[in-house]
Copies of this chain bind each other. A is one copy, B any other.
């Protein structure tokens, strides 16, 4: 059994990570960090957890210092950037924030709005989508939710699509914005509507560009749903084997399914799971390729992928602890 600490365990992605860890046959929770809940029982959000004999919440510093084999860091970007993580401290660190995703420190100024406190450390982190670029070190930068969906849709097609003119129109449920109270997450601003936000300025664009090798035009929209993310990607084809490339990329995957020709990826099938669906279409009028990816922003887009990455780094079964079966209602 590998021991696990979770930092930022009171947020959505922290809670989801906890859920996967508790279902994992090879992981054992030893520390649950949350500065706001330190001292509270693990079941603060769910009385059912009281039965399980879990450790109480501690501060994040205490949780980091617990010496766990694996640390899942679910802190905000700037706080995570400030941590001095190292493989000496824990064998595996998976950072779910954006703090270690970009190789270029200057990009943090531009896209995240803060100066990275440890620019020299960035080269030590492995940006990892398990199906496309599995982790190569124990320091793992877990991709952003939008980036995950876009890369699953487009990375297998690099070389077969024109790098210019790629458009990504993305839609996410409100849990993607986290549990913090803000006007844009007030139910009165979310229910029964759809809102574009950070139009043309979302911080997941540079990690997509870094992985694909070219920029895309990314516009995210807030959906009136709790969880789930659909990325609709538009590109000019430069080859005629796009479907074959996608199918080959995921032929061995238990996580990503390429849906049959004519079928659309169904968000409802992946909500509450760590699975992904990808579909490919050709536009009748312009011939453009349309690649659609559906994931759960908290599953494959965050906690599920984090556990999947940790499994690979630890040499465990890749899908241990993941939720892959869905209930399509």
Enumerate chain A interface residues (CB-CB to B < 8 A): 12, 15-16, 19, 22-23, 45-48, 51, 165, 167, 169, 171, 173-175, 179, 181-183, 185-197, 199-201, 205-206, 209, 215-219, 221, 223-228, 230, 232, 234, 236, 254, 257, 259-260, 263-269, 271-272, 275, 277, 279, 281-286, 288, 290, 292, 298, 324-329
A181–B183 Cα distance when bound, in Å, is: 7
Tell me which of B171, B227, B275 contacts A171 (CB under 8 A): B171
Residues of the B chain whose Cβ atoms lie less than 8 Å from the Cβ of A185:
186-188
Is B271 in contact with A193, judged by CB distance below 8 angstroms?
yes
Decide yes or no: A191 and B187 within 8 Å by CB, A167-B288, A171-B171 being known contacts.
yes
Is B298 in contact with A329, judged by CB distance below 8 angstroms?
yes
Interface centre among A45, A185, A194 (most CB of B within 10 A): A194
Tell me which of B189, B197, B206, B263 contacts A47 (CB under 8 A): B263
User: 14 pairs across A/B with beta carbons < 8 Å?
Assistant: A12-B329, A47-B277, A169-B219, A169-B234, A174-B191, A181-B182, A191-B224, A193-B266, A194-B267, A199-B292, A215-B285, A217-B283, A217-B286, A226-B268
Is B282 in contact with A200, judged by CB distance below 8 angstroms?
yes
Residue of B nearest to A230 (CB): B194
Is A227 in contact with B329, judged by CB distance below 8 angstroms?
yes
Is B194 in contact with A191, judged by CB distance below 8 angstroms?
no
CB distance from A76 to the nearest CB of B (A): 17
Residues of the B chain whose Cβ atoms lie less than 8 Å from the Cβ of A232:
169, 196, 219, 221
CB distance from A102 to the nearest CB of B (A): 13
Residues of the B chain whose Cβ atoms lie less than 8 Å from the Cβ of A48:
257, 269, 275, 324-326
A259–B12 Cα distance when bound, in Å, is: 21
CB distance from A155 to the nearest CB of B (A): 17
Decide yes or no: A181 and B181 within 8 Å by CB, A192-B192, A217-B285, A327-B16 being known contacts.
yes
Residue of B nearest to A51 (CB): B254
A93–B176 Cα distance when bound, in Å, is: 43
Residues of the B chain whose Cβ atoms lie less than 8 Å from the Cβ of A215:
285-286
Decide yes or no: A327 and B200 within 8 Å by CB, A232-B219, A267-B195 being known contacts.
no
Is A191 in contact with B193, judged by CB distance below 8 angstroms?
no
Decide yes or no: A188 and B165 within 8 Å by CB, A16-B327, A232-B219 being known contacts.
no
Residues of the B chain whose Cβ atoms lie less than 8 Å from the Cβ of A201:
284
CB distance from A28 to the nearest CB of B (A): 16
Residues of the B chain whose Cβ atoms lie less than 8 Å from the Cβ of A179:
186, 188
Contacts A175-B329, A199-B283, A200-B281 aside, 19 further interface pairs with beta carbons under 8 A come to A15-B328, A16-B329, A48-B325, A165-B165, A167-B288, A171-B221, A179-B188, A181-B186, A187-B189, A187-B191, A189-B268, A193-B225, A193-B228, A196-B264, A217-B288, A219-B283, A223-B223, A227-B329, A234-B234
Is A284 in contact with B200, judged by CB distance below 8 angstroms?
yes
Residues of the B chain whose Cβ atoms lie less than 8 Å from the Cβ of A12:
188, 329
CB distance from A178 to the nearest CB of B (A): 9
Residues of the B chain whose Cβ atoms lie less than 8 Å from the Cβ of A284:
200-201, 205
Is A174 in contact with B187, judged by CB distance below 8 angstroms?
yes
